Structure 1
Amino acid sequence: MSSNKASFFTRLRRLCRLAVWLFKTGKNLRGIDGGCPESRNRAVIELGRGVLAALDIGLEVGRPAPEHPNGVLVAANHVSWLDIFAMSAVYPSSFIAKQEIKSWPVLGKMGQNAGTVFINRNSRRDIEPINRAVCETLQRGQNVSFFPEARTSSGLGLLPFKAALFQSAIDAGAKVLAVALRYYDETGKRTARPSYADVGLPTCLWRIVSMKKLTIRVDFVCVADAAESEDRYALKDKIEESIRAVVADDADIAV
């Protein structure tokens, strides 16, 4: 009977490739947040694609991103630390991430270099200044991505969205792009193994490299005009409902 896990050699090879790639790339990311938008976007795309390639992770785009100007607030469901790299590979932006990631080895420093904004989700005092900063970033024409669930889920459903950070899109008069992320194993079935909802980063990484095959599917679900929303709660509800419908689509076959 064949194992449904990658060989030990394959796991080590993936980890070594990731370590080498992150070491080389981390130095190149220094200061890119202050560079021109085109150079920054190229660097962010290469970052996302490079991490996925090092780990042998496939990437599929279901519903493509619609044509729209820059300065878009991107909202996605949150499953794994891989979410950021999958989204960066196809839609470069700055990210809003939880404070804990800032202290992660290598990845935290790379996030800082790439312009990630780290916030304490448990502190209401952080929300207002973050909204102002995001609003200014959107008005400069730079995309900003965030995870309104505020923490990771199994990826087989959605946690309730938080409305607070949607205010930045309303203040900036920006568009909001809804993105659905789903993870599939070697059999083509949904999987929760890449989630770090209940494990730490080392365990999550080992689970990922142990999979025979992992594919991330990115669907750009819809675009909402924040200016047409009654308030941030109505905007949040629209985005949440659109993502929930896609995430739940084939979750019944999950393993």
Structure 2
Amino acid sequence: MIAGIRIAIVLTVIVLVTLVLLPVQLTSNRFNWKLSWYLPRWWHRVAVRLLGVRVVIHGKLDTHRPLMIAANHSSWKDIVVLSSVADVVFIAKSEVKNWPVFGWLAKWQRTVFIERERRRQTGEQVSEVAKRLADGEIVVLFAEGTTSDGNRLLDFKSSLFGAAANALEASPTGAVSIQPVAIAYTHANGVPLGRFGRPLAAWPGDTELTPHLMGVLKEGAFDVQVCFGEPVTYDESSNRKRVTRDVEAQVRSMLQAQLYGGGKPLD
């Protein structure tokens, strides 16, 4: 009963906040106002509080531009979490456009959708990412290319870093900064999530969205550690595969430290 009331209140407030901010965001998108860069962070800050997701930040967001964030990916909550701490846009697979609720939110946040099966369109979309980077936007790349179960890091795909190479020509410094970021869900209701508990926070691709979302809302509180690593400079002399491995190694190290080294919940 209490859980049902809480879920109803959370969903009602999220809908009301969305109805207030959405017209402003759509207008900003249409006229290319920079307000469209910043407004999503306000919405996501409300969302993380209502969802009971408590964010602990380690390190700092790089101040250099152009900047690409390369992060691990285990849940739709990763998008809400990262958007609550920085003004970012995302790269996502084209299927996300058709997802209920999350597809609409992604389009409103000006996500760049990549159709990997169509090589010609993929090139155009990578160019769009490069343009966003060169314009000063922070672009988030989930470099595994899919979601994990929250217990491990999948291999990063070097092909997804092509946008960084494409942005070099438009970069005022002739380089792009790539910052590794690890997102680790460590506690639920103050209790450490072990190997068997982490899939509760994660959203593997074969899990139905609605039951998973209801489970998250019923759980009430998750602690997530967001770790910013040392930025890696990508310039004309860089080897894309080597940069990918360097970034992946940092994310793996930070993720393992939080999952198996005892990430601390908030007081």
Q: Do the two structures share a fold, i.e. TM-score over 0.5?
A: yes
Shift of 1:188: 4.5
The percentage of counterpart residues that share the same residue type is 24
1:186 match: 189
SS at 2:156 equivalent: coil
Deviations 1:89-145 (A, max 9, x none): 112122111222211223322221221111234444443222211112211222211
RMSD over aligned CA atoms reads 2.2
Deviations 1:155-188 (A, max 9, x none): 2211111111212212323111111101131224
Shift of 1:253: 8.0
2: CA distance between counterparts of 1:124 and 1:193? 36
1:200 match: 208
2: CA distance between counterparts of 1:207 and 1:83? 16
Q: Do the aligned partners of 1:229 and 1:235 also contact (CA within 8 Å) in 2? A: no
2:172 match: none
Shift of 1:229: 5.8
1:190-229 equivalences in 2 (<5 Å): 190=193, 191-197=198-204, 198-227=206-235
**Which deviates more, 11-20 or 158-167?**
11-20
Deviations 1:177-201 (A, max 9, x none): 1111011312242333122203122
1:56/1:250 CA distance change after superposition, 3 Å: closer
Shift of 1:251: 2.6
2: CA distance between counterparts of 1:22 and 1:193? 26
Q: Do the aligned partners of 1:77 and 1:181 also contact (CA within 8 Å) in 2? A: yes
2:59 match: 63
1:23-172 equivalences in 2 (<5 Å): 23-33=19-29, 34-37=31-34, 39-66=35-62, 68-171=63-166, 172=168
Q: Do the aligned partners of 2:184 and 2:259 also contact (CA within 8 Å) in 1? A: no
SS at 1:30 equivalent: helix
SS at 1:154 equivalent: coil
- Listed as ranges, the gaps of 5+ residues in structure 1 are 1-5
**Which deviates more, 16-25 or 150-159?**
16-25
Shift of 1:83: 1.0
- Listed as ranges, the gaps of 5+ residues in structure 2 are 169-174, 263-267
SS at 2:200 equivalent: coil
Q: Do the aligned partners of 1:62 and 1:218 also contact (CA within 8 Å) in 2? A: yes
1:213/1:132 CA distance change after superposition, 3 Å: same
1:215-254 equivalences in 2 (<5 Å): 215-227=223-235, 230-252=238-260
Deviations 1:73-99 (A, max 9, x none): 111111111111211111212211122
**Which deviates more, 47-56 or 21-30?**
21-30
2: CA distance between counterparts of 1:111 and 1:250? 28
1:196/1:125 CA distance change after superposition, 3 Å: farther
SS at 1:7 equivalent: helix
Q: Do the aligned partners of 1:21 and 1:54 also contact (CA within 8 Å) in 2? A: no
TM-score (norm. length: structure 2): 0.83
Aligned residues: 247
1:251/1:56 CA distance change after superposition, 3 Å: closer
1:11/1:52 CA distance change after superposition, 3 Å: same
Letter in structure 2 aligned against 1:53: R
SS at 1:59 equivalent: strand
2: CA distance between counterparts of 1:29 and 1:110? 11
1:3 match: none
